[in-house]
Structures are given as C-alpha cells and as structure tokens.
Amino acid sequence: MRTPQSHTPREKVLAEIRQRPDAGTRPAPETSAAGAATMRVVGAAAIALAASLLIENAVVLAGAPSYGAPIKEVLAYHAEHRGSVAIAVGLQALYLPLLLGFLTGLHGVVGRRGGAGVDWSRLAVAAGASFSAVFAVYAVLWDGVVLSAGNLAEPSPEFALAWHMHAAAFALALPALGTTFIAAALATHAIRLTPRWQLLVGVAGGGLLLAAGAANLEIADGSALLFVGVPGYFAWMVWLLGTGVRLVSGRDRDEGGAEVAHAGEDSVEGRLVESWAA
C-alpha cells in the first residue's frame, strides 16, 4: 500500500508543472517536420502575396487615374497604357490563388493549434473566398475598360458605365478584404503566432477597409472616400509580410513578445506525456 509521502512519476511531474510561473497557460504544441514544412509554404505564399501587391501598386499602376478623374483622362490613360494594365490584371490573376492558398493553409496551421483561433480562421477563409469572387469581377471589368479604350476616339456612355462598375466592384471588395484581414489577424494572434502590434494593425486596417466599403455608391461615382481604405490596404501588405516571415522562420510569440517554447522531449510537459504512456 502506498504511503502518503510516496508519489508516482506522474504526480511528481504534475506538482512541478503547478509550481511553474506559467502554470495557467497552455504550451504551444510540438510542430512535426510535416507541420513545419506546411508553415513555411504558407509563409512563402503570404510573402508572395505582399510582393505582388507592392509591385502592382508601386510600379505598374503609378500614374493611373483615380475613379474621380475626368472620363476623357481615363480613356487616354487606358488607350496608352494597355501593357501596364495587362501586367496588373495578370498579377491579380496570380493574387487570387495565392490568397486562397494562404488562407486555407493558415486555417490548417491554426486548426492544429486549436482554441478560439479556429473560428476566426474559418471566417477568414469564407471572407477571402467572397473577396476573390468580387475581385474577379473587378478584374474582368477592367479588361473591358482597356479593350474598349483601344477602339474609341471619344468616351462613350458604355465606356463610362464600365469604368463606374469597375470602381463599384473594387469598393464592394473592400469590406470582404477587411473582414478577411481582421479574422486572420485574430486567428494568428490567438495561437500566439503574431505579436500584439500585428493584431492592432489587422483590426485597425481591416476596420478602415470596412468603413470605405460602406461608401460603395459614392466611390463608384468617383468620391474621394475611397482613400479612407487606402491605409488599410497598405496595412494588409505589411501584415502579410510580417506573418509570412514568422511562418517561414517558425517563430511563435507570447503576449509579451517573448519566444514560446514548444512541448518536446526535454520539456516538463513532454515528461508528463512519457509518464502517462508508461
């Protein structure tokens, strides 16, 4: 019969865990070789997304007319810069599968960790799919604008309508992107993949995108309210780059920004698992 002073190995490990300062927290699960490879692929997709957006906005679309520009200026630009628009639309065609692949892969990473982040990652996938559908319409309408511009000497009512619908599609895509941004930021923060500053960037940037998208009709008519969402759009690029780097490097962070140890053979939790198995 066991005396009150005796302890099994399992009880000793449990007592050691209770005495630790972080006894109330759950350690990050051990990442397998396959899981680490998946994280690197998802991170590479995020970095590629950020790079494609940066190239499109900083290089290809430099000097493009705003949605509030005179329609003659819009016609002249698209007639003279068909090649630039073709590159931009091609990057957008690449952007969509990268986005869906990143969000699906991120959902898998979050799902392996469990917790509240799973629900947020589901929302990010659903919102990302909605954004992709609307953004595809936006790109197709832009094709129509540039093709029409090559055959017109003066703007026609049909050309103006296509341009306004192109603007409306972009504005309608903003709230879907904002929802994707916020949900992804909450999901990654819930599993301690990203630090607090990235959560704040995600919530603030996504909120700006949601606010701009609410003015869909005004933006389609050329309103400057579109620029409310511009900081959120660039915040999305920054967040993608930061998250991609963390996924590729395999770094996790706690609330204070410190490294989070994974449970393994040398950890207290690992020894507890071994004692249970024995």
User: Which three-class secondary structure state does DSSP give residue 265?
Assistant: coil
**Residue 258 DSSP SS3:** coil
Q: How many CB atoms lie within 10 A of CB 162?
A: 20
Count of beta carbons in the 10 Å neighbourhood of residue 153: 7
Length of the chain: 278
Q: Considering the chain, what percentage of its residues have pLDDT values greater than 90?
A: 58
Domain that holds residue 191: 36-253
Tell me whether residue 269 is in a domain.
no
263, part of any domain? no
The yes-or-no verdict on residue 29 having pLDDT over 90 is: no
Is residue 259 a part of any domain in this protein? no
Which residues neighbour 64 within 8 Å (Cβ) at sequence distance 6 or greater?
A: 77, 81, 84
| Inside any domain, residue 5 | no
* pTM, 2 dp: 0.77
| CB neighbours of residue 5 within 10 Å | 5
Structural domain includes residue 18: no
Q: Is residue 10 part of a domain?
A: no
Helices (H), the chain: 9-18, 33-55, 71-80, 82-113, 117-149, 157-190, 196-213, 216-220, 230-249, 268-277
Q: Helix, strand, or coil here: 146?
A: helix
State how many domains the chain has.
1
60 or 275, greater pLDDT: 60
Per-residue model confidence as pLDDT tens digits over 151-191: 888 999 999 999 999 999 999 999 999 999 999 999 999 99
Q: CB neighbours (10 Å) of residue 230?
A: 13
